[in-house]
Amino acid sequence: MRMLSLYSMSLFAILLLTSCEAVETIFKAGMWWGIIVVVGIVALLLWLFSRGKNS
């Protein structure tokens, strides 16, 4: 009975760590997309404001 409990806890830990790594990868990708979008929006706003001053 004790070995079964050890195996089930080991299996649970392996599954839990794998899902955490998957979530970490998703959030890292989301973070980079967010940074790219923010930089793009700031660049667009700066370009629009610089166009307005030259006219």
* 1 band by pLDDT with thresholds 50, 70 and 90: low
Alpha carbon 47 to its chain centroid, in Å, reads: 29
Map residue 1 onto helix, strand or coil: coil
Could you read off the pLDDT of 9-53 as tens digits, one per residue? Answer: 777 767 766 667 767 777 888 888 889 999 999 999 999 999 877
Length of the chain measured in residues: 55
What's the CA gap between 55 and 51, in Å, rounded?
7
H/E run at residue 17: helix 2-54
